[in-house]
A and B are shown apart, each in its own frame.
Chain A
Amino acid sequence: AQSVTQLDSQVPVFEEAPVELRCNYSSSVSVYLFWYVQYPNQGLQLLLKYLSGSTLVKGINGFEAEFNKSQTSFHLRKPSVHISDTAEYFCAVSSNTNAGKSTFGDGTTLTVKP
């Protein structure tokens, strides 16, 4: 079985400040990891993904994440946020043995204040 825990349900931050959204996962097999962003009343947009290789993954909109196998974490970071980054962010895990079944965290609401 696999699971995802997003450690913060809400993260308020001021514009141009750095931000980190935390994600821990558990799985007994090798995993694929994803971060999605969801704007109000919209679908999910893929921010970035880790499949293999380099543990530092760069995505769209200036976001990046680091896969840490020993800590089973995949935290999302951005060095300087904008008002437009205000949204819900979801971490998800998948694997070869759970083909097709992505498991999502409960989400982190990022609110960027002026």
Chain B
Amino acid sequence: NAGVMQNPRHLVRRRGQEARLRCSPMKGHSHVYWYRQLPEEGLKFMVYLQKENIIDESGMPKERFSAEFPKEGPSILRIQQVVRGDSAAYFCASSPPTSYYEQYFGPGTRLTVT
């Protein structure tokens, strides 16, 4: 059973470009969560999604950030017009439908904005 998959593992973008981060949950998992880890800090919750629904986006910055989890395909975290402060590791986690608190993490995407 493959774990949570994220790609790319490393992403370099220039200021003003767009970043797209992908997450494929574990088989059988229908809940996806995105977290951001700034250097020297813990993980901060960004958004919680189920298929075609955003359940909780209270941790998402109000501008430039969006997330989706379509009926088919991976979840996407999209950052428009990236700035240097967006440089961080972005982790995706997934959980089964009956125990959403048991989250399994992917390896992360490390975004560097130059």
Contacting residues, chain B, for A90 (C-beta < 8 A): 42-43
How many angstroms between the C-alpha atoms of A101 and B93 in the bound complex?
A: 11
Flag A82-114 by CB within 8 Å of B: 1 or 0 each: 000000001010111001111111110000000
Whether B110 pairs with A100 at a CB distance below 8 angstroms is no
* Interface majority SS (helix, strand, loop, mixed), chain B: strand
Chain B's nearest CB lies how many Å from the CB of A102?
A: 6
Whether B31 pairs with A105 at a CB distance below 8 angstroms is no
How many angstroms between the C-alpha atoms of A105 and B42 in the bound complex?
A: 6
Whether B100 pairs with A43 at a CB distance below 8 angstroms is no
Known contacts A104-B43, A106-B41; decide if A46 and B100 are in contact (CB<8 Å): no
Contacting residues, chain B, for A63 (C-beta < 8 A): none
- The yes or no answer to B64 lying at the interface (CB within 8 A) is no
Which bucket holds chain B's interface residue count?
20 to 34
- The yes or no answer to B69 lying at the interface (CB within 8 A) is no
Whether A106 pairs with B105 at a CB distance below 8 angstroms is no
Chain B contacts to A: CB under 8 angstroms? 4, 6, 31, 33, 35, 41-45, 48, 55-56, 58-59, 91, 95, 100-108, 110
5 A-B residue pairings within 8 Å (CB atoms): A43-B91, A44-B91, A99-B55, A102-B35, A102-B43
Chain A contacts to B: CB under 8 angstroms? 32, 36, 41-46, 49, 51, 90, 92, 94-96, 99-107
